[in-house]
Amino acid sequence: MKFEEWEPHYKNILDFFGFDRTGDEDAAVLARSLTDKDDIAVLKDAVCGKKVTVCGNAPSLPEDMRLGRRIGRAGKVAGTGNGAEAGTGDAGNAPSSSDEVIFAADAAADRLFSKGIRPDIVSTDLDGCEDSFLEMNRAGTIMVVHAHGDNMPLLKSWIPRFEGPLVLTTQSRPIERVYNFGGFTDGDRAVFAADELGAAEITLAGFDLDDKDVVPMKHGKLMIARDLLALLDFKI
């Protein structure tokens, strides 16, 4: 999604939560100052023309992966036919199938990795970041790190430690080496990135936007994620 299309949605998010746009802009500048990396070409190559599964952190994630259970556009339930058995395999190896690109949302990456599935890509604002992210990144997992007004200490702590492929994103106007593909939460940003970078097919696993066991702020974010995903014809 181009920024001109995204900006009205972004302004609505700022108004809904009372967020400060200046903080987001400052975070983007900070993130860029912390690294010389810009592996957008690597990210595009990993996604363009591929079947991409975006993994959220819902409790259903292990079962969805084990059964190859996916949600496609317009709510269609899809099956890859080659689901990975949770808890098997080598965590340093490729993810659940050779033709399925795994794009994990934040803490979902650590859950997958602990079960022997190393995501190809991780979308994260770093609030679920663990040392395992560094290990995955060294092994080739692309880290798509999101900068916003509330995570500047995390940016300072983690960005300089990533040795592998790294792409920076913002939810405000993009600047040099900091991109905006659209989306708000780690999960829906991954979907928007995959769409913008030319994925042939996008499916979802481990998504539960009706989770009642979340704080009010998280509930609001899930509501917005649903509305944003609907723009890409995901009815969940």
* Look-up of token digits 């995570």: 151
pLDDT of residue 86: 36
Number of structural domains, the chain? 1
Instruction: Tell me the CB-side half-sphere exposure of residue 55, using CA atoms within 13 A.
Output: 32
Strand-pairing partners, residue 140, are: none
pLDDT tens series, the chain, 236 aa: 899 999 999 999 999 999 999 999 999 999 999 999 999 999 999 999 999 999 999 999 999 998 888 999 877 776 644 444 433 333 344 444 557 899 999 999 999 999 999 999 999 999 999 999 999 999 999 999 999 999 999 999 999 999 999 999 999 999 999 999 999 999 999 999 999 999 999 999 999 988 777 788 888 999 999 999 999 999 88
Calculate the alpha carbon distances from 2 to 182, 195, 198 in Å: 7, 11, 13
Task: Identify the three-state secondary structure at position 71.
Answer: strand
Calculate the alpha carbon distances from 18 to 82, 171, 174, 212 in Å: 44, 15, 21, 23
Is 39 a domain residue?
A: yes
The closest of 187, 230, 195, 234 to 50, measured between CA atoms, is: 195
Is 216 a domain residue?
A: yes
pLDDT of residue 216: 83
Is 236 a domain residue?
A: no
Domain that holds residue 192: 3-231
pLDDT of residue 98: 58
H or E element, residue 53: strand 51-55
CA distance 109 to 124: 9
Residue 46 main-chain phi, psi, to 5 deg: -70, -25
* Helices of type H across 143-215: 152-158, 186-196
H or E element, residue 42: helix 40-47
Say if pTM beats, i.e. exceeds, 0.85.
Answer: yes
Is 157 a domain residue?
A: yes
